[in-house]
Each structure stands twice: as structure tokens, then as C-alpha cells.
A and B are shown apart, each in its own frame.
Chain A
């Protein structure tokens, strides 16, 4: 059964939102959905770039009150 997990990486300069996403992606199962919360403007570009390069699925990206909510499904 797939699960949904929220990764709260707001205010993270190190290890940073993308590194947090990679950490939890390794722990997730294929089909799981991860929602990354980030206050780093760069996340809107660098997260989709990594997701596309590795071959996961970008489900959505929106900014709510200064926080990026990036949804990704683990595909492999």
C-alpha cells in the first residue's frame, strides 16, 4: 500500500530541501508520495530538475504563503 509523507524542510540551509528529499526518497517505496515543504526559492527549479533526471514523477508544485509545496511520486 502506498503512503504519503510530508517532509518539513522549511528554513533548512544545510542539509537543504533537496538533500532532505533524497534522504526520504531512499526510505520510501515505489508508488509512495512525498510532499516537500521548502522556503528556499531555488527548490521550485532544482527539485523538478533532480526528479526528472532520476526518473521519479513530479505531481505538483505550488507556493502557499511563501512555502513551496512540492509533490513527488517515487517511480523506481
Chain B
């Protein structure tokens, strides 16, 4: 049996490593062949970009060599897929090679598209890329006071990041002694200040304590970089000195180009994690169209389900588990406190007060991630 994993981010890497261990005997006796195709030979710990934006980490600390993260019985090629031929169970890569498969795992991820909002790329800083996070830190370091506005594009990866950014920004400006010279305004697309009701209930009084102005029902329509104005679809506008944006996202272009999903999001069964009308194609992480957070955590829990099911198909001919929608997100509440949100399709998160030990746990997880992505944690 040929198992092909397309994408070497969090989800793809955990699936591949988990399968490599579950099927080590089958791979050794050549009953199974496990291959990963990725666009890059480097693996980035993306949550670390928030720390780069505040000078707490440097970009080199976010990367590991992808080959070094993979079990040795996984064939690894830096050769991204350009053509999916799902009806023939094969893909064609950028180098022109064809890979046949019996089971395909789609873990191609998502990308930021600031250019989809007029003026956003020119007028706003973002920490959703390495270059952006470094540039934002330099802007913050030079900042001497004024109006900082945060706006949020839809959809976006890591839905907790806007809240975390504000907490960290408040602490950073206090540390620099310019918090009292800075007005911070937080804008959010829906009618409360976070999409998770219990996060909104917890964060709203915290924001009020920090003196953060909140405007809800604000979907970014355009940025007038020359006049330093950001306008909403709802008809309001905010003047800024420094604009920070959580940029809108799309799925990868190759998904759209191959007609596999509008916006680059692949239609996926919410429990089985298979692509609609293709039972031998599994989908996870940002690549799905599921109403689940686009986070490494969701990808992680989906990856465990998919790996167990594919291994079971090899061993007993049938999958054994459904995905229950589980997500676990750390929430940094500044530079020395944190809490977390855990939920699934049926149970909403119940937030605990932010604490120092949870922040230390998050700090430890920033290193433990490399164990997690190897499929060991």
C-alpha cells in the first residue's frame, strides 16, 4: 500500500511520524510505502512569530530541518505537488515526477492574503510571517506613543492571536514606559470581542482594566495608508499611527487551481476527515473547510485520528475512530500569565483565570513542540 502525505507542516508531519511508528513492520517488509512531499526543507514553529514581534525570540529559533523531524522510514522529497489527479490516484510534482498512491493525506495548509483588502499590505504591519514579525518589532521599538489599532481579517489562522497580541502589546509598552502615551484600539469582525463567548467574557474586563478601546462589528474594507485611516464594511473608520493586522487567509493556490475547493479549502467530512466523494483522501489542519479553528492544535488532534485510521485500514481493513472536533489553545495573557481554551463539537471551552504556571507551561511547550511534531507527545 502506498501512502502519500502532501504537506510538511504540523499536521502532515505528525501524521507521517505517527504512521511510520504504527506501520514500522509493514514498511520494513515493504507492504507499505510512506512518502511525504513538501514545498520546503525547513519546518517553522508558527506560534513563535508572536514572540518575534515583541523581541522575545529571534526567527532562527523557530526553525528545524524537516528531514531531521521525520522518522527514517519516511521517504521525503522537497517537491511540491502541482497537479492532483484524484480519479487516477496520482499527483504530479513541480519537478515533473508522478507519485501514485492508495491513500492520500492532504495537509497543504493556508496562506495570508493581505492583498485581498485594498491598502492593507501597504498600510498595516503583521506578525503572520517571519519578515512581517521582524518589521513589526522594529516599528514597535521605534514607537514613541500615539494610536495603535489592531484589525482582524476573516478567515484567519490562530483565532486567539488578536487577543494575545493586545495583552503582549500592553505589557511591552508598559515596559518601555510609553503605555500612558499610547491609545490602543481593538477591532473585531463580529458583535462581541472574541468569537468564543467564554473568551469574550474573560477578556473584556481584562481589556477594560488595561484601557483598551474595543470596536466590534468591524470588517476591514480598505486601508488609506496615506491618510492613516482604516475603514470597515460596516461604515466606520479609525485613525491610526501604527496599524497591525491579522491578515485574511486562503487555502493554498494549488487546491483552487485543481478545482478541489473554493477559497482553497477542501470539502471535508467533519468526523471521518475524508474529502467529499473521495474516501481514500484524508484532509487535515488549515486545508479543510471544517468550522474548526485553523490552528496547529486542531491539526495535531486530527492527525492522530487520521494516522490511527490509516494504520487500521492497513491492519484490519477499516478505520476505527471519528474526530470529535477537539482543539486545545494556549492563551498568553501578557508576558507572565496565560490560560487555555479546550473544546470540541459538543462542549464549549470553560476558561480558567490566567496564571503564571500556565505561562511557564506555554513557554515550555514552545520547545516541547519539536517533540510533539515528531509524534512523541
Contact = CB atoms under 8 A, between A and B. Distances in A.
Nearest to B219: A22
Contact of A22 (B189, B196, B262, B343): B189
B293 A50 contact: no
Interface in B6-61: none
B233 interface: yes
Contacts of B343: 13-14
Interface residues of A, number: 24
A15 interface: yes
B119 interface: no
Interface in A8-50: 8-20, 22-23, 26-27, 42, 46, 49-50
B164 to A, nearest CB: 14
A19 B155 contact: yes
Given A19-B155, A22-B219, A27-B262, A50 B291 contact: no
Nearest to B329: A14
A54 B291 contact: no
Interface of A is mostly: helix
15 contacts: A11-B270, A11-B325, A11-B344, A13-B343, A13-B349, A15-B159, A15-B293, A17-B291, A18-B190, A19-B189, A23-B263, A26-B154, A50-B190, A50-B217, A54-B233
A20 B154 CA distance: 9
Among all A-B residue pairs, the 10 with the closest Cβ atoms:
A12-B291, A11-B345, A16-B195, A9-B291, A23-B155, A14-B293, A22-B154, A18-B190, A13-B343, A46-B191
B206 interface: no
Given A11-B270, A16-B195, A49-B217, 13 more contacts: A10-B345, A15-B159, A18-B195, A19-B159, A20-B291, A26-B154, A42-B197, A46-B190, A49-B191, A53-B217, A53-B234, A53-B235, A54-B233
Interface in B291-307: 291-294
Nearest to B249: A23
B327 interface: yes
Given A27-B263, A50-B191, A11 B233 contact: no
Given A22-B154, A26-B154, A50-B191, A13 B196 contact: yes
Nearest to A76: B233
A14, A19, A22, A54: most-surrounded residue (chain B CB, <10 A): A14
A42 B198 CA distance: 13
Contacts of B197: 13, 42
A23 B262 CA distance: 11
Contact of A11 (B217, B234, B262, B346): B346
Nearest to B155: A23
